[in-house]
Amino acid sequence: MCKFRESMCLFVSAGFSLRPVWAAEEELDGEVKTEVLFKPEQCSQRSKRGDLINAHYDGYLAKDGSQFYCSRTDRDGQPQWFVLGVGQVIKGLDDGIMGMCPGEKRKLTIPSTLAFGEKGKGPVPPNATVVFEVEVLSVSKGPRTMEAFGRMDLDKDKSLSKAEVKEYLKLEYEKGGKPRDDPFYEKLIDDIFYKNDDDRDGVISAKEYNIYQHDEL
Ligand SMILES: [Ca+2]
Ligand SMILES: [Ca+2]
């Protein structure tokens, strides 16, 4: 279930220090350092700001390689689902995941200023440089455009039902060559409605959907 768990997480827990290959904070100069670990031969679509991303990312502390987050085991191993470049993830991930193809893997070394800052968060101490191993599973055209909204709104009643969102997701995943089973879609849809259906009436209105309109998406 967790590919990295076998290779990477156990690797780390075996006490092997990755420190020498990971950049120190001062070497980063306030920017994300990107290493491409795997790039598929075919790249159907490169991620850009406003795209809907489905990805796994595992987080490590740069100072000792200890792991503080594994998206393959946390939250039942569900890949994370977010809109790129609008602050739904830390700035370093928003920056470092730009221009990725579905299937691509990257290692991102992120200075604390673009991660958890002076305060840190949970297991991440203050001023910590962090490293994320990212695997992008799918890139779809951002949901936050009126064009996408129109395509999703099959009955043209200016609101999105769960069935309409599900149709859209199915098409997107099938296009990406990775169709999923129903429970997978149900979980994604629950998450989408939890985050977007502000008035909890069971449909996403154009207004609720277009929350990022001011971001020129
Ligand atoms: Ca509708
Ligand atoms: Ca609503």
Distance CA 121, CA 107 (A): 21
State the distance from the centre of ligand 1 to the C-alpha of 150, rounded, in angstroms.
9
Distance CA 215, CA 217 (A): 5
Compute the mean pLDDT over every residue in the chain, rounded to the nearest whole number: 82
pLDDT of residue 202: 96
Tokens of 46: 């490169």
Q: Which residue has the tokens 């129903």?
A: 182
State the distance from the centre of ligand 1 to the C-alpha of 146, rounded, in angstroms.
13
pLDDT of residue 124: 95
State the distance from the centre of ligand 1 to the C-alpha of 206, rounded, in angstroms.
10
Q: Averaged over 161-165, what is the pLDDT? A: 96
Residues of the chain within CATH 3.10.50.40 domain(s) are 3-140
State the distance from the centre of ligand 2 to the C-alpha of 206, rounded, in angstroms.
9
pLDDT of residue 214: 39
CATH topology of domain 3-140: Chitinase A; domain 3 (3.10.50)
Q: Does pLDDT of 114 surpass 80? A: yes
CB atoms within 10 A of CB 9: 19
27 pLDDT band (50/70/90 cuts)? low
Closest ligand, as measured to the CA of 205: 2
State the distance from the centre of ligand 2 to the C-alpha of 139, rounded, in angstroms.
25
What is the model's pTM? 0.59
114-133 in b/e form (b: 16+ CB < 10 A) is: bbbbeeeeeebeeebbbbbb
Distance CA 55, CA 163 (A): 23
Closest ligand, as measured to the CA of 156: 1
State the distance from the centre of ligand 2 to the C-alpha of 100, rounded, in angstroms.
32
Closest ligand, as measured to the CA of 195: 2
The CATH-assigned architecture of domain 146-215 is: Orthogonal Bundle (1.10)
State the distance from the centre of ligand 2 to the C-alpha of 199, rounded, in angstroms.
5
* Angle 202-88-144 from CA coordinates, rounded to 5°: 55
Q: Does pLDDT of 197 surpass 60? A: yes
